[in-house]
Structure 1
Amino acid sequence: MATLPSKAGTKGVPRVDRERQVLAAATEEFGRYGYEATTVAAIAARVGVTKPLLHQYFGSKQDLYLACLNPIGDRLVDAVHAAMAEHGTGAAPTPLRVLNALFTALNEERQMWFVLYDPSLPPGSGAAHRAAYYRDAIDDLAAIGTADLLHTAGTSDPLDADALTYAWRGLCTALVRWWINHPDQSPEAMAQRCARLFEVASRAVLAADDST
């Protein structure tokens, strides 16, 4: 008769809870230090379990990374998609809706952004391919938004659209990095801050146009 997988964890902690602890610790380690510099031993030490136990639960380091990445990627893609689908009177401009959605999705574990946007993933690996899949999905949504903005501004240059999408990704990364360094800032506060900054930038551009 086959033996069923044990639901027991370690030191009286149910396995499902221990796995959740491992994923939270791994997300923090991968996001803070990058895939290359993160070790399974360091993650195990944070959780207070053994390295062999982590391998038993999740397999290889890449398997553990993917176990962190997949829910992160799904959450961020869904958040951006939902934000872009919002319409109606009184709705905030699309960029602000998207930023608000990202901040809300990332609030519990802000390092999640850098698990997805990790430059140290081994080229050609399954981890790199999966991360690229999610990044491409987010970029595709961003391209739709930037094309709409450029159309409103009266331009349809594809290089303008590509440059704006690239700049948008960099802006999101910079804002999340700043946010991590200011843990007291809520998603709502960040969204309001971005609205103010966008307004200042818009006024500066208009002032420059007037001066010429």
Structure 2
Amino acid sequence: MGKAGTKGVSRTDRERQIVDVAVEEFGRHGYASVSVAAVARRAGISKPLVYSYFDSKDGLFLACVHRVGALLADAVAGAGSRRGSTGHALDTLSAIFTAVEHCRHAWSVLYDPALPPSGEVRDAVSLYRGRLAAMGAAGAAGLLTRAGHDDPLDHELLNGVWQYAVTAVMRWWSEHPEQSAAAMTARCARLLTALGTG
């Protein structure tokens, strides 16, 4: 990723560039391991400049959370027209892959296990995770309802399986950066078909 620089760049563009760098840093190394100094160094700007835009490490991370949270929630909300069918799972994965293809570590920003246990950062992360989980639960419920299954424990279990499966897929993708969004969609289509759900 290129350096943000400071000359001839509008405040809005500079903020966006800093957040681009920070998303990658936080996504790769985790909240606890990233410093504002490291982000500034990577972006080619001064640490005081980062503080002037975001006030603190938490402020910078919060900007990253809002960026990737909105990106992922919008992608999942707009995923395909096959709701209530098994094709919806693939549509959802494809939408996520496409949304974050140039921001591979976005998922890890929201699902970092080392986040602060409380506060504004935790609240923002919980909000976006909750939105994504609710959409996943609705998709699982629609699939089971269409198949005539109304046991709430079945719904709960399928939703849990889906949430963990998506996280596993995204972690695998981060370890295989050579895979494009299209390649990941095709790979998941093959796996879902092999499992009898595609």
Runs ≥4 residues deviating over 6 A? none
Find the partner of 1:56 among 39, 52, 77. 52
Q: Is the 8 A contact 2:32 2:115 kept in 1?
A: yes
Q: Cα offset for 1:10?
A: 5.4
**1:80 alignment counterpart:** 76
Structure 2: which amino acid aligns with 1:159?
Answer: L
Find the partner of 2:184 among 163, 183, 190. 190
Matches within 5 A, 1:84-99: 86-87=81-82, 93-99=87-93
Q: Scaled by the length of structure 1, what TM-score is found? A: 0.83
Q: Cα offset for 1:76?
A: 1.0
Q: Is the 8 A contact 2:73 2:132 kept in 1?
A: yes
**1:3 alignment counterpart:** none
> 5+ unaligned residues in a row in structure 1: which ranges?
1-8, 204-212
Q: Is the 8 A contact 2:6 2:14 kept in 1?
A: no
Does residue 21 (structure 1) correspond to residue 17 (structure 2)? The answer is yes
**1:116 alignment counterpart:** 110
Q: Which structure has the larger Rg?
A: 1
Q: Scaled by the length of structure 2, what TM-score is found? A: 0.89
**1:136 alignment counterpart:** 130
Q: Cα offset for 1:11?
A: 4.9
Q: Cα offset for 1:15?
A: 4.0
> In structure 2, how many angstroms separate the alpha carbons of the residues matched to 1:158 and 1:122?
32
**1:105 alignment counterpart:** 99
> In structure 2, how many angstroms separate the alpha carbons of the residues matched to 1:51 and 1:181?
30
> In structure 2, how many angstroms separate the alpha carbons of the residues matched to 1:36 and 1:30?
8
Q: Counterpart of 1:83 in 2: which secondary structure? A: coil
Q: Counterpart of 1:183 in 2: which secondary structure? A: coil
Q: Equivalent pairs: percent with the same residue?
A: 43
> In structure 2, how many angstroms separate the alpha carbons of the residues matched to 1:135 and 1:166?
13
Q: Cα offset for 1:92?
A: 7.5
Q: Is the 8 A contact 2:5 2:44 kept in 1?
A: no
> 5+ unaligned residues in a row in structure 2: which ranges?
none
> In structure 1, how many angstroms separate the alpha carbons of the residues matched to 2:8 and 2:99?
28
Q: Cα offset for 1:18?
A: 3.0
Report the count of equivalent residues.
Answer: 192
RMSD: 2.1
**2:62 alignment counterpart:** 66
